[in-house]
Amino acid sequence: MTGNELETMTIANCSPRIMKREVSPVEVTRLFLERIDRINPTLNAYMTLTADQALADAKRAEDEIAHGRYRGPLHGIPVSIKDNLATRGVRTTAGSKILADWVPDFDATVVFKLREAGAIVLGKTNMHEWASGGTTINPFYGTTRNPWDLERITGGSSGGSAAAVAASMCLGSIGTDNMGSVRNPASMCGVVGLKPTYGRVSRFGDVPGTGGDSTDHIGIFTKTVEDCGLVLQAVAGHDLKDPLSADEPVPEYSASIGQSVRGLTVGIIRDYFDKLAKREVREAFARAVGVLESLGMKAEEVTIPHMDLVAATQNCTTWVERVSAHVRYLRSRPRDYSPGFLYRQIAILTIPAETYVTAQKVRRIICEEFDRALERVQVIVAPTTEIPAAKIEECNRGEVEVDGEKISLRGPRGNLGIQCTLPFNLTGLPALSVCCGFSSSGLPIGLQVVGGAFQENMVFRVAHAYETAARWHERAPRLS
């Protein structure tokens, strides 16, 4: 095996070779660590590497497999973890100065489950400060650069995870998604990003204050839809340590891969997403719907009457739930936040309790409307982000130029880049981003596939059918 093979390697094509002992987990891990050494100084996707531990774990995996104790498709597979998920004995900063030296004495449940499945954790990935933005321009740990264009952002907040997968510095990564923090960077880096149903994956060990209690989700990055199902299989399930995790049976996700989508109906919410998405995204989305129709799916328009209140409801819910986790540090260490984050949290403290409760009433109406829509269609599709990845310099200025028009990153509904994803944090529905083409500048564009609650299998089925027909996943960024 050579380092060149890493660019086309997936979990699905690597794990049978590990199982048959054609390649060793130690060899694979070493190749990934060498690639990280070479590429990470440019991309800044990883903020902490755990090379020694990874090699020790890979050796253990190799020994187990040699003795006939193969654990499954993740055994010996190198992965990375966003830095707001607790890792025993490894610094976990949440992208903040306040937690710069925090070394947990426990693993988040998702990390524990990955280790149980035999995955090899290579390190922790960079993120937006407290997971509270969509650029991964981090004042304390530096900016993560997009593998498709180094002058551009990766999106965020899990930008390091997306860049690490896109640049073949691991085969899968775990992030968190509170308003789109998995799907947004997945779209901007051209990889698959899944936010499962709320409660599907335990949030135990997700650093408090990096998302709303009722809107944040653990999510998955991989190169392909099939790989995403393999990782979800390992990390899904009820967890007594997370009272909000769901006691719902975990189906066999690989069963949905390769199933025909002929005769299924795909819903499109025209008004909301058409207004948000800019030209090249709209065009790529329209072509993607055409591909789904060519596969035998019927496209149907669906209406969510209170869609215009989604952003206000989601923002209010997330902001209030998140700030409550920061009160202690706001009192004791306010100047250890970046000024932008600090000012925002103080502004959020002015939201009356009555407004939060009102938002929860509106949330009920919106959830009911989505559930009704999903009784008529099997999935809803939408663009993942309004625009492809912006330039880092534009984000620092707070204004991006798209279609000859200057747009503020902070609009009247909230931040640009997350308006297409946040409806599914509010509703808790499973949503996956898969690459659906490239802009004229060569930047990836994402298609979001959304299913009913706990219908990840349907989401995988449609996304895999699209991916196989469109074959965008066969492209890789050129990194010297």
Considering only 28, 74, 246, 432, the residue that binds another protein (CB under 8 A) is 246
Q: Residue 399 interacts with another protein (CB under 8 A)? A: no
Other beta carbons within 10 Å of 48: 18
Q: Residue 103 interacts with another protein (CB under 8 A)? A: no
Considering only 153, 429, 432, 462, the residue that binds another protein (CB under 8 A) is 429
Q: Residue 214 interacts with another protein (CB under 8 A)? A: yes
Helix (H) or strand (E) holding 358: helix 353-376
Nearer to another protein, 130 or 454 (CB): 454
Sorted by sequence, the CB contacts under 8 Å of residue 15 that are 6+ apart come out as 73, 74, 75, 76, 77, 230
Q: Residue 204 interacts with another protein (CB under 8 A)? A: no
CA neighbor of 446 nearest in space, from 190, 168, 162, 243: 190
Sorted by sequence, the CB contacts under 8 Å of residue 365 that are 6+ apart come out as 306
CA 300/CA 302 separation, integer angstroms: 6
Residue whose tokens read 């829509």: 373
Count of H-run helices and E-run strands, the chain = 16, 19
The stretch near another protein (CB under 8 A) out of 39-47, 136-144, 295-303, 362-370 is 362-370
Considering only 56, 268, 348, 407, the residue that binds another protein (CB under 8 A) is 348
Q: DSSP 3-state assignment of 120?
A: strand
Is 260 a residue of the active site? no
Nearer to another protein, 62 or 242 (CB): 242
The stretch near another protein (CB under 8 A) out of 69-77, 173-181, 277-285, 363-371 is 363-371
Q: Residue 271 interacts with another protein (CB under 8 A)? A: no
Which residues on adjacent β-strands are paired with residue 448? 382, 433
**One of 80, 82, 132, 278 is an active-site residue; which one?**
82
Q: Residue 218 interacts with another protein (CB under 8 A)? A: no
The letter for the amino acid at 436 is: C
CA 32/CA 6 separation, integer angstroms: 8
Q: Residue 476 interacts with another protein (CB under 8 A)? A: no
| Crossing angle of helices 225-235 and 11-19, rounded to 10° | 60
DSSP 267: E
The stretch near another protein (CB under 8 A) out of 58-66, 122-130, 150-158, 243-251 is 243-251
Q: What are phi and psi of 136, to 5 degrees?
A: 60, 30
Q: Residue 350 interacts with another protein (CB under 8 A)? A: yes
Computed over its alpha carbons, how large is the radius of gyration of the chain? 21
The stretch near another protein (CB under 8 A) out of 218-226, 290-298, 341-349, 383-391 is 341-349
281-340 residues in contact with another protein (CB under 8 A) are: 306, 308-309, 311-313, 315-316, 319, 330-331, 334-335, 339
Q: How many residues bind another protein (CB under 8 A)?
A: 50
Q: Residue 151 interacts with another protein (CB under 8 A)? A: no
**One of 173, 181, 202, 338 is an active-site residue; which one?**
181
Q: Residue 414 interacts with another protein (CB under 8 A)? A: yes
What mask of x and - would describe binding to another protein in positions 117 to 136, judged by CB under 8 A?
--------------------
Rounded to whole angstroms, what are the CA distances from 417 to 55, 365, 389?
Answer: 38, 25, 9
Q: Residue 240 interacts with another protein (CB under 8 A)? A: no
**One of 24, 96, 157, 158 is an active-site residue; which one?**
157
Tell me if 251 sits within 8 A of 197, measured CB to CB.
Answer: no
Tell me if 431 sits within 8 A of 449, measured CB to CB.
Answer: yes
CA neighbor of 144 nearest in space, from 157, 131, 265: 157
Is 241 a residue of the active site? no
Q: Where are the beta strands (DSSP E) in 384-464?
A: 399-402, 405-408, 410-411, 414-415, 431-438, 444-451
Considering only 371, 393, 401, 474, the residue that binds another protein (CB under 8 A) is 371
Q: Residue 275 interacts with another protein (CB under 8 A)? A: no
The residues of the shown chain that bind another protein, judged by CB under 8 A, are: 197-199, 214, 244, 246, 248, 306, 308-309, 311-313, 315-316, 319, 330-331, 334-335, 339, 342-344, 346-351, 355, 357-365, 367-368, 371, 412-414, 428-429, 453-454
Show which residues are catalytic. 82, 157, 181
